[in-house]
């Protein structure tokens, strides 16, 4: 009898966990020379909360590229767990491209897995405001129209793969008497924890179908 109760309780817990949502919220803020990118991840009914912050983006030069600092924050304890500083330059971009190509080559139809996973993602909020000012009224008006076009094209492409549950709030504000660029993006999404687990199992299966796939993914993803 006790064993049946334990099995029943475990089954209920597993069902509740599988039915829970993984929620993501991304904030991108760019104003003058100040940059901030924040990603909040919440899952298992709020038991898991993580925050990744990039409070600094700094362009050095063509050779050194862009320097940035990443901070990992424990949202429940409101404390910084660790941080690191890195650079994005020609070498790192080339290396990332080569690594991505090798990952695709060592996973059976990785693009099918990605599209299949994305169809379970729901966008529950989209706010994107941009302020543009070039000092000249004609140039500002032209740039405002260009930004509108880029935004609608980009979001139209994204929402071909992700389900949209709300109407996006998009604004482009022209500043005719200022020289300024400001953009603020807040994006929230959710996916069932069951589909996260299923995606992980299917990804592992597809990796194992390719000879040397598991070793290649381990080498590229966990190298120091």
- CA–CA distance, 106 with 214 (Å, rounded to integer): 8
pTM exceeds cut of 0.85? no
Mean pLDDT across 50-64: 62
Mean pLDDT across 60-76: 59
3-state secondary structure of 155: helix
Neighbours of 144 (CB within 10 A): 20
CA distances from 151 to 5, 54, 116, 143, 172 (A): 54, 23, 25, 12, 9
- CA–CA distance, 182 with 173 (Å, rounded to integer): 10
Mean pLDDT over the full length of the chain: 77
Contact indicator for 40, 49 with CB cutoff of 8 Å: yes
pLDDT in tens, 134-170: 888 888 889 889 999 999 999 999 889 988 888 889 9
């Amino acid at each position: 009898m006790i064993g049946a109760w334990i099995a029943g309780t475990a089954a209920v817990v597993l069902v509740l966990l599988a039915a829970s949502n993984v929620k993501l919220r991304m904030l991108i803020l760019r104003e003058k020379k100040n940059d901030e990118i924040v990603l909040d991840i919440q899952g298992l009914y709020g038991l898991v909360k993580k925050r990744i912050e990039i409070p600094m983006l700094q362009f050095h030069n063509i050779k050194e590229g862009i320097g940035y600092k990443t901070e990992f924050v424990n949202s429940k304890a409101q404390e910084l767990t660790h941080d690191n500083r890195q650079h994005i330059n020609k070498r790192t971009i080339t290396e990332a491209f080569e690594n991505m190509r090798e990952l695709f080559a060592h996973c059976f139809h990785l693009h099918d897995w990605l599209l299949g996973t994305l169809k379970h993602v729901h966008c529950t909020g989209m706010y994107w405001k941009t302020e543009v000012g070039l000092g000249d009224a004609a140039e500002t008006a032209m740039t405002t129209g260009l930004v509108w076009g880029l935004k609608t094209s980009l979001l139209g492409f994204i929402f071909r793969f992700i389900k949209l549950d709300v109407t996006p709030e998009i604004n482009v504000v022209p500043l005719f008497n200022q020289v300024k660029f400001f953009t603020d993006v807040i994006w929230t999404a959710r996916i069932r924890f069951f589909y996260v687990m299923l995606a992980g199992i299917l990804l592992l299966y597809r990796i194992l179908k390719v000879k040397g796939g598991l070793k290649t993914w381990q080498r590229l993803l966990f190298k120091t």
